[in-house]
């Protein structure tokens, strides 16, 4: 099936449709070896070879999901760092197609990072409306009291906008500091660190332990593994299950039928 090139590029998670159109006009997109600049051009994502900036976009049937236990001091980016710092892509070898991070972890943050070649599912997983959970273990200065925990639970304001409610509990106390568990359903820039700072508990160390229903059990720091088809289906189920729940909530209550009266 033929689809507009800008949509194929956007669905691959590389950029927005508008930016993809700009790339096309600049001659940065090729289809089967030919530069394409006409914005109305279509291609078949299953059979055509599509390259953006000389890099091949994986065909739609080539879905690869990688689960990485990211070490600290690695950037979550696909490109080279101008300062020469290492990126998560430096940890990946023998990957059959182009993958990109599903969201991001800060430079000093370690833990669960999902990478994928499926741009469409990536967008759904990152959409706060779908409430895909991310779990963190956070070492903070001080010990939050019950009032602070309730405040985090309600959500705080970042960039003059309220965040979604968080699920927060104290895991353990270590001297004057503490470890807290946080579950959230959205991912703003430096989200965990900023919400903790707002309530007066700066972050000392941060680790993401779960993404959706995936955890780090048995995965050493710096190592990665490919997701099984069953695990990929479970990620899809997370998103689709949210849609089903929304439809149920929107469904009008069933009409109550009056019982039929019988003649005596």
Q: What is residue 144's three-state secondary structure? A: coil
Structure tokens at 263: 């003649």
Please answer whether residues 39 and 51 qualify as being in contact, where contact means their C-beta atoms are separated by less than 8 angstroms.
no
Interstrand relation of 203-211 and 110-116 (parallel, antiparallel or unpaired): parallel
Tell me how far apart the alpha carbons of residues 228 and 101 are, in angstroms, rounded to a whole number.
18
What whole-number distance in Å separates Cα of residue 90 and Cα of residue 33?
Answer: 28
Residues with Cβ within 8 Å of residue 258, at least 6 apart in sequence:
none
Residue pair 28/53 in contact by the 8 Å Cβ criterion:
yes
Q: Closest Cα partner for 119 from 45, 198, 185, 195?
A: 45
Which of the following is catalytic: 106, 127, 160, 171? 106
Please indicate whether residue 106 is annotated as part of the active site. yes
The CB-based long-range contact list for 225-234 (8 Å cut-off, 24+ gap) reads 225/66, 225/67, 226/64, 226/65, 226/66, 226/67, 227/65, 227/66, 227/67, 231/65, 232/63, 232/65
- Tell me the DSSP string of 227-262: PPHHHHHHHHHHHHHHHHHHHHHHSPPPPPPPPPPP
Backbone angles phi, psi at 205, to 5 degrees: -150, 145
Any idea which residues carry the catalytic annotation?
106
């Amino acid at each position: 099936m033929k689809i507009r090139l800008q949509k194929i590029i956007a669905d691959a998670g590389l950029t927005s449709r508008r930016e993809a159109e700009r790339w096309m006009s600049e001659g940065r997109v090729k289809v089967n070896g030919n530069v394409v600049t006409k914005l109305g051009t279509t291609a078949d994502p299953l059979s055509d070879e599509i390259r953006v900036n000389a890099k091949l976009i994986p065909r739609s049937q080539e879905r690869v999901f990688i689960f990485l236990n990211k070490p600290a001091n690695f950037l979550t980016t696909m490109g080279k760092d101008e300062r020469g710092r290492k990126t998560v892509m430096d940890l990946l070898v023998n990957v059959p197609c182009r993958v990109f991070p599903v969201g991001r972890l800060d430079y000093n943050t370690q833990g669960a990072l999902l990478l994928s070649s499926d741009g469409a599912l990536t967008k759904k997983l990152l959409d706060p409306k779908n409430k895909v959970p991310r779990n963190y273990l956070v070492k903070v200065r001080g010990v939050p009291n019950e009032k602070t925990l309730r405040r985090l639970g309600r959500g705080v304001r970042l960039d003059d906008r309220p965040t979604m409610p968080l699920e927060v509990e104290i895991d353990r106390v270590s001297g004057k500091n503490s470890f807290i568990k946080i579950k959230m359903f959205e991912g703003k820039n430096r989200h965990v660190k900023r919400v903790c700072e707002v309530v007066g508990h700066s972050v000392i160390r941060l680790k993401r332990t779960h993404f959706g229903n995936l955890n780090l059990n048995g995965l050493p720091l710096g190592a990665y593994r490919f997701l099984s088809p069953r695990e990929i289906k479970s990620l899809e189920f997370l998103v689709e299950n949210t849609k089903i729940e929304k439809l149920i909530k929107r469904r009008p209550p069933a009409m109550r039928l009056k019982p039929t009266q019988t003649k005596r």
